[in-house]
A and B are shown apart, each in its own frame.
Chain A
Amino acid sequence: MLPMVSFQDVSLSYHSLGGETRAVSHLSFTVAEGEFVSIVGPSGCGKSTILSMLAGLFPPSAGSVRVNGTIGYMLQKDHLLEWRTIRSNIFLGLEIQGKATKENKSFAEELLKKYGLWEFRDHFPAQLSGGMRQRAALIRTLVLSPDLLLLDEPFSALDYQTRLSVADEIGTIIRQEGKTAILVSHDISEAISLSDRVIVLSGRPARLKKIHTIELSVEERTPMKAREAPEFREYFNQIWKELDVHVA
Chain B
Amino acid sequence: MWREIKQPAMSQAQARFLKELRLRRWAVRVTQWVFLVGFLLLWEMAANREWIDPFLCSQPTEIWRTAVEMAQNGMLWAHIGTTLWETAAGFLLGTVLGVMVAVLLWWNSFVSEVAEPYLVVLNAVPKTALAPIIIVWLGNNQTSVIAVALLTSVVVTIMTVLNGFLQTEEEKIKLIRVFGGTKWQIFQKVVFPANIPCMMNALKINVGLSFVGVIVGEFLVAQKGLGFLIIYGSQVFKLSWVLMSVVILSVLAAILYKAIACLEKFVLRKRQ
Contact = CB atoms under 8 A, between A and B. Distances in A.
B171 A75 contact: yes
Contact of A73 (B178, B185, B189): B178
B179 interface: yes
A2 interface: no
Contact of A93 (B172, B179, B190, B271): B179
Contacts of B194: 81, 83
A210 B251 CA distance: 73
B189 A96 contact: yes
* Chain B interface residue bracket vs A: 20 to 34
A126 interface: yes
Interface in B89-115: none
Contacts of B175: 73, 75, 79, 92
Given A76-B171, A95-B189, A82 B271 contact: yes
Interface string B172-190: 1011111111000100011
Contacts of B178: 55, 57, 71, 73, 75
Interface residues of A, number: 20
A97 B189 contact: no
B172 A79 contact: yes
A77 B171 contact: yes
A83 B270 contact: yes
A124 interface: yes
B185 A96 contact: yes
B235 interface: no
Given A79-B169, A83-B193, A96 B180 contact: yes
Tell me which of A55, A81, A93, A96 has the highest count of chain B C-beta atoms within 10 A of its own C-beta: A96
B73 interface: no
Contacts of A144: 179
Given A82-B271, A97-B179, A124-B270, A92 B189 contact: yes
A82 B174 contact: no
B7 interface: no
Interface string B156-176: 000000000000010110111
B14 interface: no
A15 to B, nearest CB: 17
Given A73-B178, A75-B174, A126 B272 contact: yes
A79 B171 contact: yes
Interface in A62-100: 71, 73, 75-77, 79, 81-83, 92-93, 95-97
Nearest to A71: B178
Nearest to A85: B270
14 contacts: A57-B177, A57-B178, A73-B175, A79-B169, A79-B172, A79-B175, A81-B189, A81-B190, A81-B193, A82-B271, A95-B189, A96-B176, A126-B272, A144-B179
Interface of B: 169, 171-172, 174-181, 185, 189-190, 193-194, 196, 270-272
Given A73-B178, A83-B271, 8 more contacts: A79-B172, A79-B175, A81-B172, A81-B193, A82-B272, A92-B189, A96-B180, A96-B185
